[in-house]
Amino acid sequence: MKQNNFMKSKKAGEQHKQSPLGQRGVALILVLLMVSILVVLVLETLRAMQVEGANSRQFQDSLQAEGVAKSGVSLAISLLAEDLAENEVDHLGEPWAGLTKPDSLPVQLPEDGTLEGKVEDEAGKFPINYLVDNEGKPQDIYQKVLTGMLTNTPFQLGEEEARGLVSAITDWLDKDDEATGELGAETSYYQSLENPYEARNGPLTSLAELQLVRGMTDALYFGSEENPGLRDLLTVYSNGKININTASPYILKALVSNSVSEDTAQAWAESVVAYREEPMHWDFLGEPDWYRNRMAGFNDISLPAELITTQSSHFSVKLTGKAGVGRKSIFACLERVKSEGEEGKVKVLIRYWEVY
């Protein structure tokens, strides 16, 4: 009996001696757990601060980039106004056309800031809304030029297909509901489609609307990396005139009469582009028929006088401002107006504005 009591006392003593060690082990584990939690919390807080800081920097850079782009548009407006105040001839050698060249900017950009893009003369493009007159009647001269564009490079449509597309665009613009020929299309045709809609029967407000017209394809509208599409060669901002000093070779070639061979028309268009690029020729670009009289070998070239001009009133501005990681682009369409009278005050009106 005594021996059993002794053994029980011994075991109790051992348990009593082990108790403090066990408690210290548990405490150590708890401490380590708490430290681990604190480390995680600290790291997560640091990460959140870094993300917030990055977002703040990105927002700040974005605002600065937008400021650069807006400053570019303001500069374009200033250059266009100054240009018309000094002369009434527009060509690609003028300051507005070289706005984004590094050595042509009269202002200092912010550190690591850049301005990219261009100012385009909309009068150098084909005025699509002038396929019909104010009463909605087809205008033959414009119809012929657009048909010529479609049959020439880079589109090279067949004559019948080109005429069909011109007819469909004409029907979209005119005021009646009678289709022009077999390939024309009015509301009755568009209502028969899986996703029906109505023809506008009025002038286009955006070139993108052309994608709704019968016969229009993505290849024709968007073009490719090598060749322009119709969206690059047409305009809805125009007074109906085409500036011979800024028109692309595709437009120039289409202006030439069908009686002139394609090879001659191509050679003439290339010569026009080369001639107007030379600074020594800029003083002659105000002459209404310089394209014929100033270049040897092309005296037989005759363009429709009612379509040709050497001055412009509408311009598009496509500029991208960059600052740090920020990037903002602006697309604006401008109309330049000079008041009558001795003062000749110039106004540049914003007809469209988009920031993206």
Tell me the whole-structure pTM to 2 decimals: 0.81
Q: In angstroms, rounded to a whole number, what is the distance separating the alpha carbons of residues 97 and 91? A: 8
Confidence (pLDDT) at 51? 62
Confidence (pLDDT) at 60? 82
Confidence (pLDDT) at 63? 85
What is the residue-wise DSSP string for 220-258?
Answer: HHH--SSS--HHHHEESS-SS-EETTT--HHHHHHHS-T
The low-confidence residues of the chain, meaning pLDDT below 50, are 2, 6, 12
User: Comparing C-alpha atoms, which of 11, 37, 58 is closest to residue 325?
Assistant: 58
Confidence (pLDDT) at 173? 97
Confidence (pLDDT) at 224? 94
Confidence (pLDDT) at 108? 62
Q: In angstroms, rounded to a whole number, what is the distance separating the alpha carbons of residues 134 and 274? A: 37
Confidence (pLDDT) at 64? 85
Confidence (pLDDT) at 29? 73
3-state SS assignment for residue 216: coil
What are the b/e assignments for 235-253, b being 16+ CB within 10 Å? Answer: bbbbeebbbbbbbbbbbbb
CB atoms within 10 A of CB 72: 26
Question: Tens digits of per-residue pLDDT, 76-91?
Answer: 999 999 999 999 999 9
Confidence (pLDDT) at 299? 79
Q: In angstroms, rounded to a whole number, what is the distance separating the alpha carbons of residues 50 and 158? A: 61
Q: In angstroms, rounded to a whole number, what is the distance separating the alpha carbons of residues 185 and 198? A: 10
Confidence (pLDDT) at 292? 84
Confidence (pLDDT) at 34? 75
What are 354's strand-pairing partners?
A: 331
